[in-house]
Amino acid sequence: MGPEKRTAMALAMIASLAPAIYCQSLTIYCEENAPMQTVGKEGKLGGFAVEVVQELQKRVGDGGAIQIVPWARGYEEIKKRADVALFSMGRTAEREGMFQWVGPLFETNYAFYSNPHSGVAVKSLDEAKKAKAIGVVLNDVRDQFLTKAGFTNLKRSSDYATIYRMLNAGRLDLAVGSLVNIEAQLEQAGVKRDEVRQECVFLKAQLFIAFSTRTSPQTVEKWSRALDAMKAEGNFERIYRKFFPAIPLPGPAITF
């Protein structure tokens, strides 16, 4: 075999390995947060965002297992490690430069919730600041937003089921929740829907798949193009409508 042929074969081999280099498996985290991410029987993952991410993995050739972890753990891991993805994360101005983004997957509104038997009622952020205790999940977008807004009455927990049980037991004045997730989270907590009352909406956010800054931009771009293709083909809407038949699809990416 001549040197030219050996060189050509070596270059061909390198080219064939390039996709594997750029599509190597990521460490992928999410929290349990129905209906976006759920854990069913025998630990099987499901939910809207999980199904979207699993389809994206097939398209980009990523074989990493999706791991359910407390939000605070996933959030710390994505900040300090390379090749980590975390979903579904609210994209805000404060977080913009901290991560790379693929989405949006969803749009939601966040509100305060009270125990209707407590006599607590709030119509604004200023009124909520006067509450004795507000339940939030550590390092969740709601925790970060309210902390930046000057709230000093936040009681942090690892999950929202615990927060709604605390609200129901009178250990919190308010809890913060999503208008979409509230039903599933109350069911997990064993709290009836009429045992919480929605107060004022205080924040709107779009939810994305976030990637650590030390993830290859080529990898993130592959995921982004794959999501664009899913949306163009109608595959994204098919999954979306299975979970949210009456909620509008997310619009163009906006940072709040």
User: What pTM did the predictor assign?
Assistant: 0.85
d(CA 204, CA 101) in angstroms, rounded, equals 17
Q: What CATH number is associated with residue 185?
A: 3.40.190.10
Same domain for 135 and 91? no
Whether residue 173 is found in the same domain as residue 134: yes
* Residue 7 resides in a domain: no
pLDDT values of the chain reduced to their tens digit, one per residue, 256 residues: 554 544 444 444 444 444 434 456 899 999 999 999 999 888 899 999 999 999 999 999 999 999 999 999 999 999 999 999 999 999 999 999 999 999 999 999 999 999 999 999 999 999 999 999 999 999 999 999 999 999 999 999 999 999 999 999 999 999 999 999 999 999 999 999 999 999 999 999 999 999 999 999 999 999 999 999 999 999 999 999 999 999 999 999 987 7
Instruction: Identify whether 10 is part of a domain.
Output: no
At 161, list the tokens: 């089921």
Tokens of 164: 């709604």
Interior/surface letters 142-175, b for 16+ CB within 10 angstroms, e for the rest: bbbbbeeeebeebbebebbbebbbbbbeeebbbb
The verdict on residue 52 lying in a domain is yes
Q: Indicate whether 2 belongs to any domain.
A: no
Question: Amino acid identity of 199?
Answer: E
Q: Does residue 254 fall inside a structural domain?
A: no
**Same domain (yes/no): 147, 114:** yes
Look at residue 4 and tell me if it is in a domain: no
Total length of the chain:
256
Return the biggest CA–CA distance within the chain. Answer: 87
- For residue 6, being part of any structural domain is answered with no
The verdict on 192 and 121 lying in the same domain is yes
Instruction: Please report whether residue 56 resides in a domain.
Output: yes
The total of structural domains in the chain comes to: 2
Adjacent-strand bridge partners of 113: 175, 198
The C-alpha atoms of residue 138 and residue 239 are separated, in whole angstroms, by 29
Residues 181 and 232 in one domain: no
Domain residues for 103?
25-107+205-243
